[in-house]
Amino acid sequence: MAINFSSLTILALSATLFLQISIATAQLSTNHYSTSCPRALFTIKAGVLKAVAKERRMAASLLRLHFHDCFVNGCDASVLLDDTSSFTGEKTAGPNNNSLRGFEVIDSIKSELESLCPGVVSCADILAVSARDSVAAVGGPFWAVPLGRRDSTTASLDAANTDIPSPVMDLSDLISAFSNKGFSAKEMVALSGAHTIGQARCVVFRDRIYNESNIFASFATSLKSNCPSSGSDDSLSPIDATTPGSFDNSYFKNLVSNKGLMHSDQQLFSGASTDSQVTAYTNNPAAFFADFASAMIRMGNLSPLTGSSGEIRSNCRKIN
């Protein structure tokens, strides 16, 4: 006998499929630790504020840790796993090696949380909350972080090498890299605004300051003394030279003036589709803050491990 699906049945099936797809996100909750570890958020914030007070640049480093975690198989703290004789993690991937930092801050926060609430707070959640608290600590927006992620028991060096956007990408490649994770071009521009804080190594912007024409001449000249055409790859320059220690919209103002530090930065304002969004954020910092916070929540929801998946690591650097 033939089965006839009514339009209501089809809608019901569609709704069920949507719920199944969304279930991991639905299992995250902003009050996840309210009973199991009520001082969790306070403890993370205190650790972040202490680290940022000691070194303001650490705010950018902790934010970047969360980003590099989430873009590789989801927000599961895989980026924190150390290599062992039988395991290769993500720390030696091209985008991470000699670049990611702040691991000891996460270690310290985790140690305190294990004393308070053993086996309760995941390393993945620590990364997500630390990113938010780091942004807020240097003048950026605050948002409620959905919690309840669990930690992976594996990592992917290959995915870290392929999925994390590169500082030499053209605009079309940037749009594709973020689209592959479910982000719109507008969200990509908003998330790129994270570069309003932090520093970059000479190796990732040397070609731009010596070989690209769409760079403000005196800006390029000012960078060459710290980044010679041949020499150390590791000398640092602020990505936002205007207000390097403050989370604001100066990054976008710099792009309009052709003062983007990296090739991928200036691609956001290069006579193409994202120019209007950069201009909007230049004129409306509140819109940038709102869009950035919204995009960060979405990023934190990338393929989280929930329920009985993964584990709660007692040491963020190794599986239990």
- Is 60 exceeded by the pLDDT of residue 19? no
- Is 70 exceeded by the pLDDT of residue 23? no
The Cα–Cα gap between 259 and 240 comes to: 9
For the chain, residues classed under CATH 1.10.420.10 are: 171-298
- Per the CB < 8 A criterion, the answer to whether 193 and 278 are in contact is no
> Sorting pLDDT into bands at 50, 70 and 90, what band is 230?
confident
pTM score of the predicted model: 0.91
Active-site entry in 32, 66, 68, 263: 68
Point out the annotated binding site for substrate. 165
Task: For the domain covering 40-164, report its CATH number.
Answer: 1.10.520.10
Best CA proximity match to 190, nearest among 259, 271, 284 = 284
Which two tokens mark 116?
A: 């308070």
How large a percentage of the chain has pLDDT more than 70? 92
Q: Is 68 a known active-site residue?
A: yes
DSSP of 72-129 = TTSSSSGGGPPPBTTB--STTSTTTTTT---HHHHHHHHHHHHHHSTTTS-HHHHHHH
Query: What tens digit of pLDDT does each residue of 165-179 get?
Result: 999 999 999 999 999
Q: What is the CATH T-level fold of the domain 171-298, as seen in this structure?
A: Peroxidase; domain 2 (1.10.420)
Point out the annotated binding site for heme b. 195
Point out the annotated binding site. 69, 72, 74, 76, 78, 90, 165, 195-196, 240, 243, 248
DSSP class of 267: G
For the chain, residues classed under CATH 1.10.520.10 are: 40-164
Query: What tens digit of pLDDT does each residue of 27-75 get?
Result: 899 999 999 999 999 999 999 999 999 999 999 999 999 999 999 999 9
> Sorting pLDDT into bands at 50, 70 and 90, what band is 26?
low
